[in-house]
Amino acid sequence: MASEVEKKAVFDIDSAKEVVQELRASFVAGKTKDYEWRRTQLKAMLKLMDENEPQIVAALRDDLSKPELESSIYEIAMLKNSCKLALKKMKHWMMPEKAKTSLATFPSSAEIVSEPLGVVLVISAWNYPFLLSLDPVIGAIAAGNAIVLKPSEISPATASLLAKLVANYMDSSCIKVVEGAVPETTALLEQKWDKIMYTGNGRIARIVMAAAAKHLTPVVLELGGKCPVIVDSGINLQVATRRIIAGKWGCNNGQACISPDYIITTKDYAVELVRLPVYVYICNLVLFNLSSQALFILQVDSFKCELELFYGKNPLESKDLSRVVNSNHFARLLKLLDEDKVSSKIVYGGERDKSNLKIAPTVLLDVPQDSLIMNEEIFGPLLPIITIDKVEDSFDLITSGTKPLAAYMFTNNKKLKEKFVEKVSAGGLVINDTTVHLAEPTLPFGGVGDSGMGAYHGKFSFDTFSHKKAVLYRSFAGDAPLRYPPYTNGKLRLLKSLLGGSILGIIRALMGWSKA
Amino acid sequence: MEKSIAKLRETFKNGGTKSISWRKSQLKALLQLINQNEDSIFKALDQDLGKSPVESYRDEVGVLKKSVTYTLSCLEKWVAPKKAEVPLLFFPAKAEVMPQPLGVVLIFSSWNFPFTLALDPLIGAISAGNTVLLKPSDLAPACMSFLVETIPKYLDNKAIKVVAGGADIGERLLQLKWDKIFFTGSPRVGRLVMAAAAKHLTPVTLELGGKCPAIVDTLSTTPSKAKVTAKRIVGGKWGPCNGQACIAIDYLLVEEKLASALIELLKKTIKRFYGENIKSLKSISRIVNEHQFQRLVNLLKDPNVADSIVYGGSVDEEKLVIEPTILLDPPLDSEIMSEEIFGPLLPIITLKNIEESINFINSKSNPLVIYAFTEDETFKKRILSETSSGTVTFNDSMVQFLCDSLPFGGVGQSGFGRYHGKYSFDTFSHEKSILHRGFYPEIEPRYPPWTDFKLLFIKLAYEFDYFGLILLLLGFKRS
């Protein structure tokens, strides 16, 4: 009886307080600062993944019907890489960075020392529940912090699995998983953290930041936005299409913060993108037997062609597509799709299976700008194509909206590339591909404006969970009396030249040759 | 006011602030503003705070000139995109990180260094290519008026605006949407700023304060080092705006047996620097206003605190002057030991052993700076690794502010974010990642339908196991 009551115990403000107190005690005792501790935790995480891959894949299948390949690669393999990189480079990252000193503080030496922030809170999302939970944790461990991880309740199988595995493999006096929904998250947000990292949507992000403001806690917010893809003419359309498909439906069926949300192309070219294949067989033939140049000339590339090749004639039955996560999101997506002025614009797909929460890859052409689907982040398998007269008009279209997490452009035109890079403000840009910048640990991954603040991945994760402490070492020699009162004009002259940094100026002032 | 901000947004949108030549011209104009108005600046600072020209030059005019000059010389380098390494797997590809302006930024500055704290962030915002609204503190009214009147004469009005006013204007500004807010001030107002920013998901930099301790462990070295220590302590307490500075020394920590020697040295130094008594006080700022004056006087009201005064304590309400005051071991739970003092009162806390200072400092929230006067290398290492603060300065006070290569900012309750030098540029920029890819070669296993072969291929690719990939492709590896 007693144990049942224990199990049902509510995780309330007091429980949250206790957790933070325990972690803070561990942090203050110096447990997490120790290099060996960080190393063993990261190694334990690798072991956790090595020994539980089938269970992780199964949990992801439960929560999202995620295809095994997506789970193995985008969740597990990427995480392993992140872990290995941290293990390899951590010592180097932890080293103080020398800083230059100037004449003004001569003689002195300076450095910037990385220190952990303390006790940090990581709130992750449901779409890549494994990756988005543990990738930030890797950074937090590498930087020497104690951590609470709050996985999303919308992916409950993964959340439970995480709670179990982290408790079994990692040091629970320093790293804890708290499962739950709104009440538990609210209880956690009431506490004082040294950093909060939140991955999710803008609405909750505002709540997180407002809660953080009470304690002056710095935050990293990894949000989303409508990631546009500009498709120029004169490119290898087949490759572009495939890369767009891989980034859209190949990434959790469009439910990813960096999934291409919509396409912008010129009116003429749009037809190329969606033209009915004359013979699907030709596509097959062409794909495996002819060169890319020939493909281009044949111009049979199209979304319909490629989508059929990837997912078959009945995509609702394809095992290579995630499902829509739950009925809420399913209803939300149908609302976008079934809006009057939108449903008539479907050029491919549109099929849905409510009982299995599946929506087929759907392409729409020329939906009105004021439709719902063009005014909120889609986060699903619907891909609108907007047409404009000149490809340059796409930049204004994008900048008229809020800044997205990513923006993509397919073009061979150098000038257009330069304009794109210059004009479009987004977290990250990729030219001639989609989403792959995520896998590049030397690039900071984060948003700007409505798509978020702060960045991580690679060393940026380590930095984001560190305080970069400035340290200045001075000696007793060289104590210039001009620093101290009583203040005189002579001192003023000398001070001016010292701050001006020129040795000649200083000599002149010392000799009394310069004017005040 | 909303119209002004709309204008700023329009200017930004039209690219008015993007070019390096615009940024440089604005920075040069700012330098001209400072050079051509030095006397007026000195006058305004004297009016608002009683600052002497040397202090004004050292802490405001000189610092700003140095900052603009440094920024001008480095700007092209900072603006250039930074290459990022790309693994072979992505070939052919090019990766880079490009800094971009955030857009329309709001800068709130404080009253104690009304020029530095307004214009140094402004330098950063301009160098990063933003449009700016500057809201100086109305508690330094002459300086605020100067900025309101003079900035439009030198800088581009379409891109840089200054607005006068008090807390009510500040509140109105906080309701609007900004691309960044830079705030220097107290933790209390910092919370309000961040809460308002949260509504628009606006990133913020908060430069706050705290009780900056100075650990004194060099009195028993040589007499000359002890003297220099005393000078640097006195210079670091009453030098910057008479203790009204976020990086001023708040209190001292010293071993019991050295306390009286320290007090004697400090007394001598204070008298030499500032005069024998309150009547002959010179080369020192006054208290900014009646409210702050009362707050400081109240800190001394507690009889146990008043009893601990060992030097000074006299006040002149008419002139808003409090003479440099030293206290020895006031009660640890008194307000003077729990609040940031921000004034000319210096408590000395004695310890049995100087190493206890680490625990003492850790019992309070993270300060902006920890000063430590010590030559003990082991102790230095302990201080660095066992305490947390924005900055640590060994064997001096205040000068870290002049170091453009060191980030200036807090941690915990002393704030987050940082600036100075390139950090100013960074704080007002968004670092955009860019990956350029080619169309060829195409890696088939990227695409569905999924097979075991493709899974193994990608696994090997992710491990950058190029040899394994070759084996797989040649058929020597089985999935």
**B241 included as an active-site residue:** no
User: Phi-psi category of B351—alpha, beta or left, where left has phi over 0 and alpha has psi -120 to 50?
Assistant: beta
Segment among A53-57, A332-336, A373-377, A483-487 with least mean pLDDT: A483-487
Summarize pLDDT for A311-344 with one digit per residue, the tens.
Answer: 988 999 998 999 999 999 999 999 999 998 999 9
Residue whose token pair is 């498909």 = A245
**A257 included as an active-site residue:** yes
- The residue annotated as part of the active site, out of A257, A283, A308, A377, is A257
Model-level pTM? 0.92
Summarize pLDDT for B361-379 with one digit per residue, the tens.
Answer: 999 999 999 999 999 999 9
Summarize pLDDT for B48-82 with one digit per residue, the tens.
Answer: 999 999 999 999 999 999 999 999 999 999 999 99
Confidence check: pLDDT of A5 > 50: no
Residue B112 is given by DSSP the state S
**Distance (Å) from the alpha carbon of B455 to chain A's nearest alpha carbon:** 6
Looking at CATH, the fold of the domain delimited by B1-209+419-431 is given as Aldehyde Dehydrogenase; Chain A, domain 1 (3.40.605)
Confidence check: pLDDT of A402 > 60: yes
Q: What is the model's pLDDT at position B442?
A: 81
For residue B283, give the amino acid letter. Answer: S
Q: What is the model's pLDDT at position B164?
A: 96
Summarize pLDDT for B153-200 with one digit per residue, the tens.
Answer: 999 999 999 999 999 999 999 999 999 999 999 999 999 999 999 999
Residue whose token pair is 């800068």 = B107
Token pair recorded at residue A430: 């990729």
Token pair recorded at residue A515: 């004017």
Of B63, B239, B437, the CB nearest to A430: B437
Share of chain B above pLDDT 70, in %: 100
A316: Cα within 13 Å, side-chain hemisphere: 11
How many Å apart are CA B17 and CA B322, to the nearest integer? 46
Who wins on pLDDT, A140 or B222?
Answer: A140
Torsional sign, CA B273, B277, B283, B289: positive
CB-CB contact of B131 with B105 (8 Å) = yes
How many Å apart are CA B304 and CA B326, to the nearest integer? 14
Interface test with B, best of A68, A69, A497 (most B CBs within 10 A): A69
- A234: three-class secondary structure by DSSP: coil
Please choose, from the candidates B336, B337, B297, the residue with its C-alpha nearest in 3D space to the C-alpha of residue B320.
B297
Write down the mean pLDDT value for chain A.
89
Residue A404 is given by DSSP the state P
Helices and strands in chain B, H and E counts: 19, 18
Which string of DSSP letters, residue by residue, matches A242-301?
HHHHHHHTTTGGG-STTS--EEEEEHHHHHHHHPPPS-HHHHHHHHHHS-HHHHHHHT--
A426: Cα within 13 Å, side-chain hemisphere: 32
Q: What is the model's pLDDT at position A419?
A: 95
Confidence check: pLDDT of A279 > 70: no
Please choose, from the candidates B463, B381, B2, B110, the residue with its C-alpha nearest in 3D space to the C-alpha of residue A80.
B463
Interhelix angle B38-49/B20-36, rounded to 10 degrees, is: 70
All residues at 6 or more sequence positions from B140 whose CB lies less than 8 Å from its CB, including other chains: B44, B48, B49, B111, B112, B114, B288
Residue whose token pair is 């020895």 = B328
Confidence check: pLDDT of A208 > 70: yes
Q: What is the model's pLDDT at position B478?
A: 66
CB-CB contact of A509 with A497 (8 Å) = yes
Average pLDDT for residues A450-460, to the nearest whole number? 97
- B150: three-class secondary structure by DSSP: helix
For residue A277, give the amino acid letter. Answer: P
Angle (nearest 5°) at CA A151 between A146 and A157: 130
Instruction: Provide the pLDDT confidence category of residue A288 given band limits of 50, 70 and 90.
Output: very low
Q: Strand A108-116 and strand A466-474: pairing? A: antiparallel
How many Å apart are CA A238 and CA A290, to the nearest integer? 12
For residue B167, give the amino acid letter. Answer: A
Average pLDDT for residues B439-465, to the nearest whole number? 84
Torsional sign, CA A153, A156, A161, A167: positive
**How far from B309 is each of A37, B182, B277, B322, CA to CA, in Å?**
48, 38, 15, 13
Residue whose token pair is 């001192």 = A491
Q: Does B188 touch chain A (CB under 8 A)?
A: no
Residue whose token pair is 């206290």 = B327
Please choose, from the candidates B246, B253, B255, the residue with its C-alpha nearest in 3D space to the C-alpha of residue B366.
B246
CB contact under 8 A, A469 and B411: yes
Instruction: Provide the pLDDT confidence category of residue B87 given band limits of 50, 70 and 90.
Output: confident
Angle (nearest 5°) at CA A318 between A306 and A436: 55
Q: What is the model's pLDDT at position B163?
A: 96
For residue A103, give the amino acid letter. Answer: L
3-state secondary structure A412-470: CCHHHHHHHHHHCCCCEEEECCCCHHHHCCCCCECCCHHHEECCECCHHHHHHCEEEEE
Q: Which of residues 362-421 of B touch A (CB under 8 A)?
A: 362, 384-385, 388-396, 399-400, 402-408, 411-413, 415-418
CB contact under 8 A, B393 and A483: no
Number of CB atoms found within 10 A of residue B1's CB: 13
Confidence check: pLDDT of A106 > 80: no
Q: Does A480 touch chain B (CB under 8 A)?
A: no
Q: What is the model's pLDDT at position A207?
A: 98
Q: What is the model's pLDDT at position A327?
A: 95
How many Å apart are CA B239 and CA B259, to the nearest integer? 22
Looking at CATH, the fold of the domain delimited by B213-388 is given as Aldehyde Dehydrogenase; Chain A, domain 2 (3.40.309)
Summarize pLDDT for A349-365 with one digit per residue, the tens.
Answer: 999 999 999 999 999 98
Contacts A224 to B, Cβ<8 Å: none
Summarize pLDDT for B114-139 with one digit per residue, the tens.
Answer: 999 999 999 999 999 999 999 999 99
Residue A472's φ and ψ, nearest 5 degrees, are: -120, 125
Instruction: Provide the pLDDT confidence category of residue A292 given band limits of 50, 70 and 90.
Output: very low
Of B63, B198, B391, the CB nearest to A210: B198
Residue whose token pair is 């269970």 = A55
Average pLDDT for residues A470-486, to the nearest whole number? 82
Who wins on pLDDT, B444 or B343?
Answer: B343
CB-CB contact of B435 with A436 (8 Å) = yes
Contacts B88 to A, Cβ<8 Å: none
Residue whose token pair is 């994760």 = A461
Interface test with A, best of B88, B188, B406, B453 (most A CBs within 10 A): B406
Q: What is the model's pLDDT at position A498?
A: 72
Share of chain A above pLDDT 90, in %: 73
Instruction: Provide the pLDDT confidence category of residue B428 given band limits of 50, 70 and 90.
Output: very high
How much is the CA Rg of chain B, to the nearest whole Å?
Answer: 27
How much is the CA Rg of chain A, to the nearest whole Å?
Answer: 28
Residue whose token pair is 């792959």 = A436
Which string of DSSP letters, residue by residue, matches B390-404?
SEEEES-SSGGGG-T
How many Å apart are CA B98 and CA A221, to the nearest integer? 20
Element (H or E) spanning A359, and its range? strand A358-359
Element (H or E) spanning B461, and its range? helix B452-462
Average pLDDT for residues B448-474, to the nearest whole number? 85
For residue A72, give the amino acid letter. Answer: S
Residue whose token pair is 């952990």 = A116
Q: What is the model's pLDDT at position B396?
A: 94
How many Å apart are CA A429 and CA A427, to the nearest integer? 7
Helices (H), B128-220: 141-154, 167-175, 187-200
Which string of DSSP letters, residue by residue, matches A43-98?
HHHHHHHHHHHHHHHHHHHHHH---HHHIIIIIIIHHHHHHHHHHHHHHHHHSPEE
How many Å apart are CA B249 and CA B212, to the nearest integer? 5
Q: Which of residues 328-347 of A touch B (CB under 8 A)?
A: none
Confidence check: pLDDT of A509 > 80: no
How many Å apart are CA A291 and CA A287, to the nearest integer? 8
Average pLDDT for residues B38-50, to the nearest whole number? 96
Confidence check: pLDDT of A289 > 50: no
Q: What is the model's pLDDT at position B216?
A: 96
Confidence check: pLDDT of A278 > 60: no
Q: What is the model's pLDDT at position B479?
A: 56
The ranges assigned to domains in chain B are 1-209+419-431, 213-388, 441-474
Please choose, from the candidates A182, A192, A206, the residue with its C-alpha nearest in 3D space to the C-alpha of residue A16.
A192
Burial of A501 per CB tally in 10 Å (0-12, 13-18, 19+): middle
CB contact under 8 A, A209 and B463: no
How many Å apart are CA A117 and CA A467, to the nearest integer? 6
Token pair recorded at residue A232: 């120029």
